[in-house]
Every structure is written in C-alpha cells, then in structure tokens.
Structure 1
Amino acid sequence: MHRHDLVVIGAGTGNALIDDRFAHLDVAVISEGPFGGTCLNAGCIPSKMLVATADVADAVCEAGRHDVDAVLRRVRWSDVQRRIFGRLDADSRQGEEGRRASPFVTVHRGRARFTGERRLRVETADGPVEVEADRIVVAAGGRPTVPPVVAESGLPYETSDTVMRIAAPPERLLVLGGGYIAAELAHVFHAVGSRITIVEQHERLLAQQDEAVSAAYTDLVRSRYDLRLGRAATRLEGVPGALRLVLDDGAVVEGDTLLVAVGRRPNTDRLDLAKAGIAHDEDGPIRVDEQLRTSADGVWAIGDVSTGVPLKHVANREAEVVAHNLLHPEAPRTMSYDAVPSAVFTRPQIAQVGLTEQDARDQGLDYAVAVHRYEDVAYGWAIEDTRGFCKILAERSTGRLLGAHLFGPQAATLVQPLVLAMATGMTAREVAEVPLWIHPALTEVVENALLALDTGRP
C-alpha cells in the first residue's frame, strides 16, 4: 500500500494543479495517458497549430481579393506534423520527467479505479499498485464518443485523439458530426487538399451556437463541403481505405477515412466511483458543489470528468480554485460559470459568451439585440471581409449584457472585452462609452454593436 497526503488522478490540468506550494506534502500523480492531457497531446494546442497552418494555406488561395497573385503549391503534411508534434511530444516527456524528478511527488503510471473511500488500485505495467490518500483530486478527463454503428462495425475510424497524427491527408474524408471539433478538423483537412463530406443529425452545423452564427457558418461551407444535414448514420461498411457510410434516408457516402466527431464523454465509467461514494450523473460528469467538492469527504473533481463545460480555460480556473481550497480550507474559494467564453477556430473564427438568442427567447426574457457587420467598419474594409458580424444581446430594462456572438476574423480575441464586461457587471452602454476604442481596428465592430443596442437605458 502506497500512502500519500494528496493524490491527483490525471496528468493534464490535474498535474498543473501541483506546484511548490504543495512541497510540504507527500503527493502522487496517477496517469494512464501522456502528461499534458488532451489539450497538449490531442486537443486544443495541436489542433490550433494545424488550424494556423490551414489559415496560411487558405490566405494564399484567397490572396486575389487583395490584388495579390499567389499560388499554393502544397502543404508539406509530414513537415507540419514534425514541427507540431516534435515540440508537443517533447513538452509532454519533459513534463513527466520534471514531475518524476520532484522530491515531493510520486508518479504512478496506469489506470486508476477506486476500491473504497479514498483508496485506489492502479494497473501499472509492473502490476497492480494499491494507493491510499488523505485527499484526492479527480481530473481523469474525457474521451471521444463513438456511436455503436461505428464501434461495432469492425472497420477503422479516426477520432480527434488520432486523426492529427495520420501519415497523410485522406483524399476523401468522411466526418460524422457537425460540432466544433468537426468544424475545426474539416477546415484543416480541406485546406491541405482533402474532399470533405459531413454527416450531421441537425439541420445546421454548429447547432449549439447562436442561430445567426449557425446559419451563417452552414451557408458558408456549403460550397466547400458535401453536407448531409438532418441525417444519421445507420451502417458503416466497405473495407479499410474504401469506407461507405449508409444514412437513414438510404443515401450512401464514401471516403477513404472516417473521422468520428459526435462529441466527448467524461471518463466516469472507468473509475468505479460508487465504491468511493462519489455521486455522478448516469454516464455523465461527477457532481460537485461550488467549491468543487464531490459527495465523498476529501475528494474534489475538476475538468472534463466533472464539469458540464469541457473547456481547458474552465479546467484551469477550476484547478486554481481547488489548489487554493486544498491549501486554505479555512477560506475556500468558489467556482463561477457565469461568463464562460468559447471559440471555434474554423475559417472564419467563431466566438461566444453567455446566452444565444434562442436561449433568451426560450427563457421568455425581454431582450434587445443588435448586429454590426465587419464590412461596416474601416478595418473590415482593409481585410475585405463581407461575411463577419458581431451580435450582442442585452436585457432591455437594465442594459445588462446577456450574450455576445462573433463570426469573423479574430473573433476569439474580439469577444474578450464582452467577457470582461459580463464578468464585472458593466452595462452595454458603459462598455461602449467608458473606454476608448481604437480606430481603425476590428474592435470597432464590437463598439458599434454595443451602441446600436436599444435597451432604453441612458
């Protein structure tokens, strides 16, 4: 039996939780996967490095609108992969080596399952290890969801965990799913030469976005991809390299590679949580209170295994809260999800915070809405953008910001002033009129959308 003061399950955000403030404790980190977790190895960072490459390739192809004659010769896929994963794999190895070198941290490599109250069994390469701790942080992450029609077919498929490391871009890529992972990876592979077919059960892509954004994105990519919307897959057949996806309307779409991007699920089913008295939703996240404590005494949970908002920046904040609460139980902090921004790094970028218009309508709110287009500000002219817009919703009676949505270049950056305003309680008019907004810059599209809101507030 290995006894520790603190055990962290997961070497992604969980590993980042541990720093020198914990040097007075005997700490253990348990991890089955590579250090750095999904974000570093198969998620946010490699996908955005690939997106940046795809954006460069697309910029070359679109150079004519700026009266520049340019030709894209090719994207050197193997060189791109070496540049990205050569760096990230080294970072992952260094993260593990650095943790192993720590005088107060023990690393247990393998999958952990609870065997009792704050007791774990870790299946390592050298055999099972029994672990016990005074306190435990569960940060075991999540994984791609694979529907039975694919998983039980016996045929090969890729997920976001694997597709970025394939040897060469497919000639024809089938994408099952129409959310943000599907959008970003379709953008990447289209830019490097793949023909894309997307099968999505909703009638529009990015259906969780504001309806105006979802509609704009769907209309935009109709000319890029073969879209099969409002359709479900009923069967996967064929042979490796020549796959056939049969749809519920009888249509058949073909490709040499299938990317499954229908969502992600928390790894709660792999932890035997009931044996530790840890409550969780059925096939869903661990339940936590506002201090991120689970139902089991001395056990906290963070990240994709526990939150309904599986975003790295959310997990990072959760780690800060739990680290503080572990060190200062007499003055605990709480976690707020009141103004959580997110972005989709497709082309163009998409960003949002707060309510969509359909949310506000469904909740029966009395709201004002304003939209301002990129092409109506000076820098929008400079970049020749005719598609982008900023959409903002505010409570009519108070001017309180309810939600914001951007569709266009730099959206992930432009949304941040609105995140700050929502987090601090500034009204739409205050955000528009108190700070100075740089001219000419794309931030003017946000300023003008704020000024256009008719909330009845002075």
Structure 2
Amino acid sequence: MRQHDLVVIGAGSGNAVVDDSFAGLDVAVVEERWFGGTCLNAGCIPSKMFAHTGHVARTVGEAGAFDVDAELRGVRWRQMRDRVFGRLDAEREEGRRGRREADFVTVYEGRARFTGPRELRIALADGAVDITARQIVIAAGGRPLVPGPVADSGLPYETSDTVMRIDAPPRRLAVLGGGYIAAELAEVFAAAGSSVVIVEKEDHLLGPQDETVAARFTELARSRYELRLGREVTAVGGRAGALRLTLDDGATVEADMLLVAAGRVPNSDRLHLDAAGIATRDDGRIVVDAYQRTGVEGVFALGDVCTPVPLKHVANREAQVVAHNLRHPDDLIAADHDLVPAAVFTRPQIASVGATEQDCRERGVDLLVGEARYEDIAYGWALEDTTGFCKVLAERGTGRLLGAHLMGPQAPALIQPLVLAMALGIDAATLATSAYWIHPAPTELVEKALLDLGL
C-alpha cells in the first residue's frame, strides 16, 4: 500500500491547498473528472461568460431606449460555446499538466473511496490502487440534484454540467427550478432566442433572497418567461426533442429540452465515509469544525462537500484555512461564514450580503430599512433604469449594518463597500458621511440608501 504524507481528494478548490510550501512532503491529488472543478468547467466561470454574451445581446435589442438604431440578428451559439470552452478547457489541461509535472505530487485520475480512517482505494482506468496518508483533505464537491420523476423517466435532460456545451439553443426550454442557477441560465437561453418556461415549487423565484428582491425579480421574470410557480413536476413523458412535463395540478408543459436546475447535492455519498468513521449531516454535508477538521484525526474537508455556503469564493477561503492548518497544527485559524456576499448574474444583476428583512423580522430585530432606486441617481438616468434599487438594513440606535441587497446594473461591484463596512464594523452613518462618493457614479445609489436610514 503506497503511503503519502497528504492526499487531496478533488482538484477544484482542493487543488489550491497545495503550493510550493508542501514541496518537502509526498503529496497526492485524486481527481475523477475535472481539474479545476465545477466552477471552471461547468459552473460560475462559463456561466458568467455566457451571461455576459447574453447581456450584450439584450443591450443591442434595447438600444432604441438610448436613441441608437441597432438590430440584433442573433447569437452565434456554437461560436460562443467554442470561444468559452476553448479557453476554459485549455485552462483545465494546463492545471492538470502543472500538477503532473510537480516533483512532489502524484496525480491519481480516478474515484477515491475510503477503506479505513486514512486509507483509500482509487478506481483507475486500468485497475485500482490502495493508498494511505498521514493527512487527507476531502474536496470532492457536489453535483446537480435530479428529482425522481425526471431520473425515472428515461428521457433526456440537461443540467448545469452539460447544457452550456450543447450545439444549439432549443426552440422551447423548460427549466425546472427557481434558484440562481435556473435564473442565470434562463436568461442566457432567452437572450439566445429560446422561449423559456420555468417550473418552480415556491411562489417566487430566488426564494432565499431578500423578500423585496425575490418579489421584484419574479415580476420582471414574468414579463419575459412563462412561469409555473408553486408547482412540481410529477412525470416526464413524450420523446427526445418533444418532452411533456406533467405538473402536480394536472397541467402539462411542452418543451424541446428540459434543464434541471433544482439544486445541488454534495458528493459525500460516493466516498464510503462510513468506512472512515466520518460523520455527515442529514443533507449529506460532511461535519467539520471551525477549522475544517472532520471528526477523524488528520482528515479535513472543504468546499461544497461540507460547507454551509456552497459558493466558489467560500471554497477558496476554506482552502486557505485548510492549507494553513495543515502546516501549522499548533496555530489553527478558523473559517468564518457569517458575512458571505453572493451575486446572481441575471439581467438585472443581483447582489446580497448579511441578513434579509425576513430574517430580521423572525429574530425580532429593531430594524431600520433604507432604500434608493437607480432612477433616484444621475447615473441611473444615464442607464434609463427604472427597476433597480439598493436596500440596506441597520439596527436602530446603533446603526450597525445587518444586511444589504441590490438589484440592477453592476450590483456585484456596488455591494462591495457594504461588504467591507460590515466586515470591519463600520456603522451606516459613518460609511455614508465619512468619505466622498463620486458624482455622478453608480455608487451614489449606496450612499442614498444609507442616508435613507435617517441616522
């Protein structure tokens, strides 16, 4: 049985754990599918590249609002796809090659399963190998959740793992799910010319968002797509290219293609964790402490396989924490998930950090709410934006910022001053009045929302 000092299972964010400071150790990286992980190959990076192309297409189509005569003749889907994945596939292979060429790293391309607390069997293309390690990092990621009626139908469907690599957009696309993945990809395909119908079991799209964001985005989406809200798919029939979805109210939805974007699940169930004595939560996430340690000595976990916030920037931060704690066992640092910002790259864009208004209401917080609209600021006039806004939540009396929520152009960038203020403990009044805010600039939206708190 080959012995290693450190084994990392997963070459997404797990790959970031190992740098040259580990060169004195015997390290192994196990990856069964994609170097670079979901983000590089099928997630946040390609979807944002597709989303930006969709944004350009929408801008051309809406140019008349700015007194510009322009005509959108179509999105060259296959060329866009090849441009995006031509770059990203090369990045993946460069990462794979770099790991293989590292003198102190052994790469196993296969699926790892635990056979003991720090023992693994790796299924390779030409057999299997058993290894053991002094320390193991589990960074095996997650995968799309496929509901039973879809999986059991035997009919074709796409997920976020596959849909961006298809040859052409469908005439009519059914999207199952109403979260951020569903919202982003629906926008991409609509901009490319598909007719889109969204089936979502909740009464709003983007349900985990602040209630104001969810309600206003749902109304905008209703003007662009066919929405079947509060509904679930009970059966999928028809044939490839002519699918028929039966809903729980007896209604049917016809579509050329089905995109399943109903959530994601951790890959913990594929690792035989019981053999190692590693505990999981009810939803399958591996149980870790603040230092990313599992209950088995020497075994850490990071990213979507364990985190409460399955976002790439969170996995990267957890990788930094794990790397430090592997090297400095007597000086551990903790991962902090309290103030994680997030963005949805739809049109309009959405960004959030901290508590929602409904969170504060449930906790009985004495709350102040400030709001400003894009149409309240000069740059919003330039954008001809009549739907976007910034909403900030603060504790009455102290002015402590509790949450912030934006919907509109450049929202993921505009939220960053609020993220920094919350992380550094800067109160709303200080943030609003202590520094200059450029006029006219989009950031005035944040300033006006802060001043609207009345502190």
TM-score (norm 2): 0.99
Give the whole-Å Cα distance in 1 for the aligned partners of 2:425 and 2:336: 14
Secondary structure, aligned partner of 1:120: strand
Give the whole-Å Cα distance in 2 for the aligned partners of 1:4 and 1:452: 58
Q: How far does residue 339 in structure 1 lie from its aligned partner after superposition?
A: 0.8
Gaps of 5+ in 1: none
Q: How far does residue 131 in structure 1 lie from its aligned partner after superposition?
A: 1.2
Give the whole-Å Cα distance in 1 for the aligned partners of 2:191 and 2:47: 13
2:346 maps to 1:309: no
2:439 maps to 1:444: no
Partner of 1:363: 363
Give the whole-Å Cα distance in 1 for the aligned partners of 2:79 and 2:129: 41
Give the whole-Å Cα distance in 2 for the aligned partners of 1:454 and 1:267: 47
Give the whole-Å Cα distance in 2 for the aligned partners of 1:132 and 1:397: 57
Give the whole-Å Cα distance in 1 for the aligned partners of 2:259 and 2:248: 18
Q: How far does residue 283 in structure 1 lie from its aligned partner after superposition?
A: 3.8
Secondary structure, aligned partner of 1:437: coil
2:226 maps to 1:206: no
Q: How far does residue 332 in structure 1 lie from its aligned partner after superposition?
A: 1.1
Q: Is the 8 A contact 1:237 1:243 kept in 2?
A: yes
Q: Give the letter aligned to residue 150 of structure 1.
A: V
Q: Is the 8 A contact 1:269 1:283 kept in 2?
A: no
Q: Give the letter aligned to residue 316 of structure 2.
A: N
Q: How far does residue 17 in structure 1 lie from its aligned partner after superposition?
A: 1.4
Partner of 1:182: 182
Q: How far does residue 123 in structure 1 lie from its aligned partner after superposition?
A: 0.5
Give the whole-Å Cα distance in 2 for the aligned partners of 1:454 and 1:296: 51
Question: How many pairs are equivalent?
Answer: 455
Partner of 2:404: 404
Equivalent residue runs for 1:69-148 within 5 Å: 69-148=69-148
Q: Give the letter aligned to residue 104 of structure 1.
A: F
Q: Is the 8 A contact 1:367 1:396 kept in 2?
A: yes
Describe the superposition over 1:222-244 as per-residue Cα deviations: whole angstroms up to 9, x where unpaired: 11100001111111000000000
Give the whole-Å Cα distance in 1 for the aligned partners of 2:282 and 2:448: 45
Describe the superposition over 1:83-136 as per-residue Cα deviations: whole angstroms up to 9, x where unpaired: 100000011011101100000000011111100011001101011110100000
Q: Give the letter aligned to residue 338 of structure 1.
A: D
Instruction: Please list every run of at least 4 consecutive aligned residues from structure 1 whose deviation after the TM superposition is greater than 6 angstroms.
Output: none
Q: How far does residue 196 in structure 1 lie from its aligned partner after superposition?
A: 0.1
Partner of 1:9: 9
Give the root-mean-square deviation of aligned CA atoms. Answer: 0.7
Q: How far does residue 397 in structure 1 lie from its aligned partner after superposition?
A: 2.4
Give the whole-Å Cα distance in 2 for the aligned partners of 1:448 and 1:454: 10
Equivalent residue runs for 1:422-437 within 5 Å: 422-437=422-437
Secondary structure, aligned partner of 1:259: strand
Q: Give the letter aligned to residue 201 of structure 1.
A: K
Q: How far does residue 209 in structure 1 lie from its aligned partner after superposition?
A: 0.5
Gaps of 5+ in 2: none
Q: Give the letter aligned to residue 389 of structure 2.
A: F
Q: How far does residue 434 in structure 1 lie from its aligned partner after superposition?
A: 1.6
Partner of 2:390: 390
Give the whole-Å Cα distance in 2 for the aligned partners of 1:274 and 1:417: 44
Partner of 1:266: 266
Describe the superposition over 1:377-432 as per-residue Cα deviations: whole angstroms up to 9, x where unpaired: 01001111111000000111211111000000000101111111111111111111
Give the whole-Å Cα distance in 2 for the aligned partners of 1:411 and 1:270: 37
Give the whole-Å Cα distance in 2 for the aligned partners of 1:367 and 1:264: 33
Partner of 1:275: 275
